[in-house]
Amino acid sequence: MVHLLIVGWLMLVPRTVPWVPAANLEPLASIHAELARGGWSAVWHLGAPVLMLAPLGVLLPLAGGRLDVSPLGSMARTVFGGAMISLTIELWQTAVPGQVPDVDAVLLNTLGVALAHLLIVPGARSRLRRRDERHRGTTPRISRVGLAPQADVFSGGRTYF
């Protein structure tokens, strides 16, 4: 929750700028422009959106709290949730002065969520499952106790078990 509040504040605070470029609604246009410009500026402008929502790739699966889930299903839910949060932030930016919505920011944010999920969550779940199995141990067995005889508890000799 704190992470989303910080991201929301960073992305939705009004900026005073002398001019504002038009919104980018063409997928991959700003990514191509940054790659063509090259240098550390491109690394910064492409890396920041990737890292902005990347912690959600770990935090969203933690919110579910389940260890035994399908890796593909977990990945799909996490990436979809990250994409929807990114899209919501970009849509809110249309109402904030000085902030320009960019479809490539949604793509890069979603890429960051997916990469963080792939790099951390499967290994962490595996370690937690092994730790859980180690603490759980085996079920105790008592060899001298057999099966109980079937009890006739209902009138008329009918049993339901």
Spans of all domains in the chain = 50-134
**Band of pLDDT at residue 84, cut at 50, 70 and 90:** very high
Question: Is the pLDDT reported for residue 137 higher than 80?
Answer: no
* pTM exceeding 0.75: yes
Q: Which residues pair with 24 in a beta bridge?
A: 102
What is the DSSP annotation of 27-84?
TTHHHHHHHHH-HHHHHHHHHHHHHHSTTHHHHHHHHH--SS--HHHHHHHHHHHHHH
Which span out of 42-46, 93-97, 114-118, 124-128 was modeled with the highest average pLDDT?
A: 114-118
113 band by pLDDT with thresholds 50, 70 and 90 = very high
